[in-house]
Amino acid sequence: MATSRSTLTRDAILDAAERLFAEHGHDNTSMRQITQAAGVNLSAVNYHFGSKDALVEAVFQRRLDALNDERLRILDDLEAKAGGQPLKPSAIVEAYFGPLVRHACSAGAERRAFMPLQSSTMSDPNGAISALFAAERSAVAHRFTRALLASLPGVPETEIVWRFHFMLGATAYAIMGAESSSRAMNLPGDTGNIDAQALLGRLMAFLLGGLRAPLPTGAPLPGVPA
């Protein structure tokens, strides 16, 4: 099916905005810069997005949609191969957090635009981007928490939800501060470049350790090896 001119224009605006956000940050990018880079006039931006804030959200939404699609595709594939049997907790955790770490460590312009927007979810928890992220995350996270509940029989649902929440926070902090932390620690042989697999390996060990920790009462987590 042919792509409509309206869709092409909208995509051109999003592509231009994303490149400029990556270079200058969304706060320092003007609408005039975006229209010039996209080869459109201001009325086209207003028609498709209504405002700069809405355009910023749309740039973020497009990347978030792609990220969540990948997460769900991996989970669907794992569940299909499992044939109705519960998945391993480690597979569920990696399916959710692996795509984010790989995206965060990529070298593309989309990463340089996406990551500062994601950082606003930490620095401004009541902002529009944070609200969008929370809404999108809740729907996808629900699928993953249900999968964890099936894989960890006997573990209270409230505890699963809390631990998933803690894992989200740890991962967000890890990917936002990975480069600066690496330089600050001055680790031997560390160039400051973040390797996605190395970071994911360290992060997975940490997340799974937290997932398997005893309950707040001190009792072992039911059905989970120490």
CATH class assigned to 1-50:
mainly alpha
2 or 34, which is more confident: 34
3-state secondary structure of 199: helix
Percent of the chain past pLDDT 90, that is, above it, reads: 38
If you average pLDDT over every residue of the chain, what do you get?
81
pLDDT confidence bin for 190, thresholds 50/70/90: very low
- Tokens 């769900």, residue? 72
pLDDT over 70 at 137, yes or no: no
Tally of CA atoms within 13 A in the half-sphere of 175 that contains its CB: 29
- Mean predicted confidence (pLDDT) in 23-49: 91
**76 has pLDDT over 90:** yes
The answer to whether residues 20 and 12 touch, using CB atoms and an 8 Å cutoff, is: no
Q: Would you say 38 and 16 are in contact if contact means Cβ atoms under 8 Å apart?
A: yes
pTM: 0.78
Q: What is the pLDDT of residues 47-73, one digit of tens each?
A: 999 999 899 889 888 888 888 999 999
Over residues 79-136, the pLDDT tens digits come to 999 999 999 999 999 999 999 888 877 766 666 666 666 665 555 555 555 565 566 5
CA–CA separation, 213 vs 215, rounded Å? 7
Amino acid identity at 170: A
Q: Is-contact 96 144, C-beta < 8 A? A: yes
What superfamily does domain 59-211 belong to in CATH?
Tetracycline Repressor, domain 2 (1.10.357.10)
> Greater confidence, 43 or 25?
43
Q: What is the arithmetic mean of pLDDT over 7-31?
A: 88
Q: Is the pLDDT of residue 165 over 60?
A: yes
- Break the chain into its structural domains and give their ranges: 1-50, 59-211
Instruction: Kindly tell me if the per-residue pLDDT of 183 is higher than 50.
Output: no
Rounded percentage of the chain residues whose pLDDT exceeds 70? 74
